[in-house]
Amino acid sequence: MSEPRPSDRHDAPDPDDTFEEIVDEATQRDPDLAVIEAGSRTLRAHSGQPQGEAVPARPADPETDKALRAVEQELAGRWGETKLEPSVTRIAALMDVLGEPQRAYPSIHITGTNGKTSTARMIEALFNAFELRTGRYTSPHVQSITERISLDGSPIEPERFIETYEDIKPYVEMVDAQQPYRLSFFEVLTGMAYAAFADAPVDVAVVEVGMGGTWDATNVIDSTVAVVTPISLDHTDRLGTTPAEIAGEKAGVIKQGATVILAQQPVDAAQVMLKKAVEVDATVAREGMEFGVTSREIAVGGQLLTLRGLGGEYTDIFLPLYGAHQAHNAAVALSAVEAFFGIGAEQARSLDIDAIRKAFASVLSPGRLEVVRSSPTVVLDAAHNPAGAKAAADGISEAFSFSRLIGVVGTSGDKDVRGLLEAFEPIFAEIVVTQNSTARAMDVDELAAIAVEVFGDDRVQVEPRLDDALEAAITLAEEEDEYAGAGVLVTGSVITVGEARLLLGRG
């Protein structure tokens, strides 16, 4: 039932190589032997294959699609991701009856407010470049629930997703019967991910928290590396109202003796993280101190970076993603992988530069300043809080030369909507407010009222249906001469972006 391991490929190491030998090969390789690019060759010529199908379509087989929908319906009948009972009691009980699958492989645990999924994808690509089999667990999904569980850079096949659910279902029901509350949607998916990774089996798991850290369902792993992406205000009703309070919850992923890769943080959040690291004797590597972005410049289709990692400098790295925030995510991802291999502590050397370049050049991050249409250009970004909106606004302003930008915004009702709109106000000529199809969506009239306060009545158009909102925005962009370069940015929620992606034919 397992998918082919990387070692089964014709150009892979001997199938009998142990995990330790693979890690040793990655850390001991002499950086002087790295392949250096010739002057006439481009970075794109050296890029690896893009990570698998990032956003899969519905299964082509009607029976498989029917079975997948049945699983989705059963999962949807549980507590949703926004209804929480803060403890790991239920997921720990599930892991116990499943035989502790999450302890069958080492892991990297990622928390923070923004950038977690993109960073996870970069870490995954780097491990794949060193022939390690990866499992990646991220949330939420853009279009398909199977995106959340990936093996070797590709979402788990629908048949395997269904099989995994059916395999653990009796154990889920057993735990349900023993607990005051049934396992939630997210807890069951987490159990599925850990079970699928053990069954594969994977060499390393890259795990993104759902929310917070201490009591997040993913926090039953003993990760050797904890990654903390930038912390800002989000989920304040559950995590706290200051960066320090939120950091206190997120610091729960830092385990005894682990290495912490700490992105640039607000001072009070950084202090909380450093205090937690001292308490558990963890080693901390800080962006801007032990690692960081040395230089970056805009390139066709992305950006060209020089990164300083724990083991030295890595030059001429092409990253096919837009925005300074993605460059910082890349520095964090690189240092996390170095830390996993022991570089900077046990090993004083760099990873193979050629493998690093190929890995980063292959990275995909759907719904993160993703171009899905031209004439006019339509860009999708899943920003859903002020910090994410500011990063998206800066990124699109830097990477695109739009003469006029139209925003299509549909948000969830539990977010800082005013803060998000204020971050986008300087770059939107006009805004079309709308709503996605979920119950969490903010009512379009409520959203419009806030938008009018931020943008003024003459810059706001209301379209309750997302398809009508897209059409209206594209029409507004096309009002200028076709060569003038107007564009559309769809944003406000991962769900809004996923639905827009389908409507624009990318599903």
Query: Please, are residues 203 and 195 in contact by the beta-carbon 8 Å criterion?
Result: no
Cα gap 82→308, rounded to integer Å: 38
Q: Which tens digit of pLDDT belongs to each residue from 158-202?
A: 999 999 999 999 999 999 999 999 999 999 999 999 999 999 999
Core vs surface per residue 366-375: b (16+ CB within 10 A) or e = bbbbbebbee
Cα 143 vs. chain centroid, distance in angstroms? 14
**Averaged pLDDT for residues 413-441:** 93
Q: Is 368 helix (H, G, I), strand (E, B) or coil?
A: coil
CB 357, CB 34: distance < 8 Å: no
| DSSP line for 303-348 | EEEEEEETTEEEEEEEE-S-SHHHHHHHHHHHHHHHHHTTBTTTB-
Q: 154: alpha, beta or left, given left = phi > 0 and alpha = psi -120 to 50?
A: beta
Give the model's confidence band at 481: pLDDT under 50 very low, under 70 low, under 90 confident, else very high. low
Please write the tens of the pLDDT for every residue from 6-44.
Answer: 334 334 444 344 434 434 444 443 333 332 222 222 333
Based on the number of CB atoms within 10 Å of its own CB, is 62 exposed (0-12), middle (13-18) or buried (19 or more)? Answer: exposed
Report pLDDT for 414.
80
The predicted pLDDT at position 59 comes to 87
**Structure tokens of 361?**
């050049």
Is 2 buried (19+), middle (13-18) or exposed (0-12) by CB count in 10 A? Answer: exposed
Mean pLDDT value across residues 46-56:
51
> What is the secondary structure of 162-185 as a DSSP string?
HHHHHHHHHHHHHHHHHSSSPPPH
The answer on pLDDT for 236 being more than 80 is: no
> Given a cut of 60, is residue 402 above it in pLDDT?
yes
The predicted pLDDT at position 354 comes to: 96
Tens-place pLDDT, residues 307-316:
999 999 999 9
* Mean pLDDT over the full length of the chain: 87
pLDDT digits (tens, 9 = 90+) for 314-349: 999 999 999 999 999 999 999 999 999 999 766 668
Least confident of 6-10, 243-247, 279-283: 6-10
d(Cα 60, Cα 53) in Å, to the nearest integer?
Answer: 15
Task: Give the H/E segment covering residue 20.
Answer: helix 19-28
Within 10 Å of residue 288's Cβ, how many Cβ atoms?
A: 14
pLDDT for 32 equals 32
Q: Please determine, for residue 95, whether its predicted confidence score (pLDDT) is greater than 50.
A: yes
Torsion of CA 21, 26, 27, 28, to 10 degrees: 80
Q: How does 445-459 read in b/e, with b if 16+ C-beta sit within 10 Å?
A: eebbebbbebbeeeb
- Rounded Cα–Cα distance for residues 148 and 136 (Å): 8
For the stretch 118-162, pLDDT in tens is 999 999 999 999 999 999 999 988 889 999 999 999 999 999 999
- Average pLDDT value for residue range 113-117: 91
